[in-house]
Amino acid sequence: MAAPARTRPAARKPKPAGHLVGYARVSTAEQDPALQLDALGGAGCWRVFTDHASGSREDRPELAAALDSLRPGDTLVVWRLTGWAGPCRT
Query: How far apart are alpha carbons 87 and 89 in whole angstroms?
Result: 6
Query: How far apart are alpha carbons 51 and 70 in whole angstroms?
Result: 17
Query: How far apart are alpha carbons 37 and 45 in whole angstroms?
Result: 9
Examine the residue annotation and report whether 56 is marked as an active-site residue of this protein. Answer: no
Three-state DSSP class for residue 22: strand
- Which of 27, 54, 56, 69 is labelled catalytic? 27
- CA-wise closest residue to 45 among 21, 63, 27: 21
Report, as residue numbers or ranges, the catalytic residues. Answer: 27
